[in-house]
Structure 1
Amino acid sequence: MKTQYHLLPLALAAILNAAPAIGAGPRSAQPVQPILADLESTEAEALLFMREEERLARDVYLVMDELWQALPFANIALSEQKHMDSVKSMMDKYDLTDPSNPNEPGVFANPELQALYSQLIDDGDESYLAALRVGALIEEVDIEDLQNVSAATENPALQTLYGNLLRGSRNHLRAFASEIERQGVVYEAQVLDPTELNAILDTPMERGGQGKGQGTQGGGRIARPGV
């Protein structure tokens, strides 16, 4: 199953404007440089979308952990919370308000994410292997969407944020695929191009930023022809 990336048509809540330096003497003559570039409305919409998409991952993994009480759901849910917190920190810098309440699991402002959440919960309820495939699908979708929003902005702060989240999502995908293949099943791409998927899975866990993996494990792939 593949979800398409669609941004919510949300208005920009506020744009952070740098205030001029206040003070006396020669040193106050030079204006303070803004820490962040002005945020375009499309960039704000993307940031709000990614906040909900990261929360979808967390909420699904918490349900899967309750259902199956097996790795790697609990560990990756903790990592997704950190992803959410990173996005929220950036939102706060721009005075953006959450599109939905993060304390109401499984309830989203974006109707596409709402429908996807319900479908993923149903799919993951079928078996532990199905739940692992749900996790891998979420990470593939996250990777595709993060690549899209990163390519659509020239804002260095946003690019850094999305780059960190991408590292984390690649690590999570490695963890899910590794666990799937420990069940004796060769994992195949659900959304990403197979060549891109194999390049990710054949690369060791990444470190730095949000890419530490939160205790997830990689490796142990089943050999496949041509890889």
Structure 2
Amino acid sequence: MKKSSLLHILILITLLIIIPASGVGQGYGIQFQGNQNITLPEPQDYNLSDIERSDLLFMRQEEQMAHDLYMVWYEKYSIPIFRNIAEAETTHASEVQFLLDRYQVPSDMIGNLSSGYNNQEIQALADALVEQGAQSLTDALKAGVAIEETDIADLDKAIANTTRPDIIQIYTNLRNGSENHLSAFTSQLS
């Protein structure tokens, strides 16, 4: 009986792994796992406008910056909110990276906190916020609020700059995540 039960459990686990993986990428593009589970429509064409290309690169760097700063503050203050939101930012960066890859936009110059960011606006923001967050836990939480408010405003602009359903879907997903992050940081400050 024990062997039979163990066999049934192994079969169920195998099916739980194989069945969801077999559906990824069929029909409408990619599905993101983790906090997000979305299916993207295929684009009618792959010719981005200059502003769409620029927005994708900017958003990818902004998501990377958020991740990097949250990890710095997690290491300094050891509170889970920074680690948890950093993990979500990794998912967000992956979603934008998928779009960059889909539209064949070179993204080898994204950078990170230790090497520097390609976009000078992102670099200046990172420099200011990393310094702010080093002052105290409260200042780091306030810097987290600033990151998320900036991200929401930038996503609103990027959404207005495209009519592509797949890009709008990713940006909307990122915006919803940023709203959740903003709420989490705000509640920590209350």
Q: Give the match for residue 94 of structure 2.
A: 85
Distance 1:45 1:147 in 2: 14
Residue 83 of structure 1 and its aligned partner are, at CA, apart by 0.3
**Cα distance change of structure 1 residues 70 and 176 upon mapping to structure 2, 3 Å threshold:** same
Question: Are the aligned partners of 1:61 and 1:73 in contact in 2 as well (CA < 8 Å)?
Answer: yes
Give me the TM-score of the superposition, normalised by structure 1. 0.62
Question: Are the aligned partners of 2:155 and 2:171 in contact in 1 as well (CA < 8 Å)?
Answer: yes
Distance 1:77 1:48 in 2: 19
Q: Percent identity?
A: 38
State which drifts further: 167-176 or 103-112.
103-112
User: What SS class does the counterpart of residue 72 from structure 1 fall into?
Assistant: helix
Distance 1:175 1:99 in 2: 32
Residue 105 of structure 1 and its aligned partner are, at CA, apart by 3.9
Distance 1:120 1:140 in 2: 13
- Counterpart residue identity of residue 65, structure 2: L
Distance 2:146 2:80 in 1: 16
Within 5 Å, give how 1:99-118 maps onto structure 2.
Answer: 100-102=109-111, 105=114, 107-118=116-127
The structure with more helix, counted as a fraction of residues: 2
Cα root mean square deviation, aligned: 1.7
Distance 1:133 1:76 in 2: 14
Question: Are the aligned partners of 1:48 and 1:98 in contact in 2 as well (CA < 8 Å)?
Answer: yes
Give me the TM-score of the superposition, normalised by structure 2. 0.74
Q: Give the match for residue 66 of structure 1.
A: 75
User: What SS class does the counterpart of residue 106 from structure 2 fall into?
Assistant: coil
Question: Are the aligned partners of 1:59 and 1:106 in contact in 2 as well (CA < 8 Å)?
Answer: no
Structure 1: unaligned runs, 5 residues or longer: 1-32, 182-227
Question: Are the aligned partners of 2:132 and 2:143 in contact in 1 as well (CA < 8 Å)?
Answer: yes
Number of residue pairs the alignment of both structures matches? 149
